[in-house]
């Protein structure tokens, strides 16, 4: 059974930093592409960032609102994905979900978030 | 960024009703379109990918259609466990979600 367990959320002051972790099990983590999605209280979903497997280059990409402030990384020896968040703002307040970045090929490549963790709440407030 | 607009934002329906939610993209996204279901306090779940492919394990009463800029999610016979919020997502360019459609009990 695929399990994704986030941790590291909490209350942080504007301008502060936080690192989220996502412990994965039930699948071959080193081959998985991973991602982070967030949801502000009472709002919709927003993709944050993603990372490919090391064998596929380990490249990362970010949404515009977090680019330059957030960093996605992975430690395959620990089956863990990370989200390092710096220069936090009030608008970063959200539940942060760890997801697997699934893909399907039929001549074209289709991507989706197929497994999700339960989420961890980050509150940015003074 | 490509904007995704869902309609309606909310709807009330009864068990057994046929329900259709639409999602419109601000420019063509071909069929790079996914649908998710989210229940209160829970993580979203993938229902449909590539506009019309049903994820394994998802009941066949869910179906997706469309291409280009206009898409739909249809629930053929609404069940009690289907009351939730539904989101579309495009993965054609810089992935973005619709604002969500809340399906409530009438």
Here the tokens at position B66 are: 């469309």
How far is the CA of B93 from the CAs of A43, A47, B26, B86, in angstroms? 22, 12, 12, 21
Determine how many CB atoms are found less than 10 A away from the CB of residue B80. Answer: 7
Bridge-based pairing state of the strands B101-105 and B10-13: parallel
CA distance A32 to chain B (A): 17
- Inform me whether the pLDDT recorded for B94 exceeds 90: no
CA distance B32 to chain A (A): 6
Q: According to the model, what pLDDT value does residue A104 have?
A: 94
The parts of chain A modelled with pLDDT lower than 70 are: none
Question: Is the separation of the CB atoms in A33 and A53 below 8 Å?
Answer: yes
On whether any CB of chain B is under 8 Å from the CB of A23, the answer is no
Q: According to the model, what pLDDT value does residue B70 have?
A: 98
Please give the backbone phi and psi of residue A31, each rounded to the nearest 5 degrees, phi first. Answer: -95, -10
pLDDT per position as a tens digit, B9-27: 999 999 999 999 999 999 9
Give residues with Cβ within 8 angstroms of A56, minimum separation 6: A33
């Amino acid at each position: 059974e695929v399990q994704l367990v986030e941790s590291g959320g909490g209350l942080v002051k504007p301008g502060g930093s936080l690192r989220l972790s996502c412990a994965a099990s039930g699948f071959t983590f080193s081959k998985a592409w991973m991602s982070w999605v967030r949801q502000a209280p009472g709002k919709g979903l927003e993709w944050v960032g993603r990372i490919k497997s090391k064998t596929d280059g380990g490249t990362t990409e970010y949404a515009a609102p977090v680019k330059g402030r957030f960093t996605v990384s992975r430690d395959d020896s620990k089956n863990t994905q990370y989200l390092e968040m710096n220069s936090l703002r009030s608008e970063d307040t959200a539940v942060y979900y760890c997801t697997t970045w699934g893909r399907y090929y039929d001549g074209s490549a289709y991507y989706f978030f197929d497994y999700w963790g339960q989420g961890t709440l980050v509150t940015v407030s003074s | 960024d490509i904007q995704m607009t869902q309609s309606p934002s909310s709807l009330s329906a009864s068990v057994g009703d046929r329900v259709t939610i639409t999602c419109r993209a601000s420019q063509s996204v071909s069929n790079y379109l996914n649908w998710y279901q989210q229940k209160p306090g829970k993580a979203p779940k993938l229902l449909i990918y590539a506009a019309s492919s049903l994820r394994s394990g998802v009941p066949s009463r869910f179906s997706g259609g469309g291409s280009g800029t206009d898409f739909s999610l249809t629930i053929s016979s609404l069940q009690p466990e289907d009351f939730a919020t539904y989101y579309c997502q495009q993965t054609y360019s810089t992935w973005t979600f619709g604002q969500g459609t809340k399906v409530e009990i009438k």
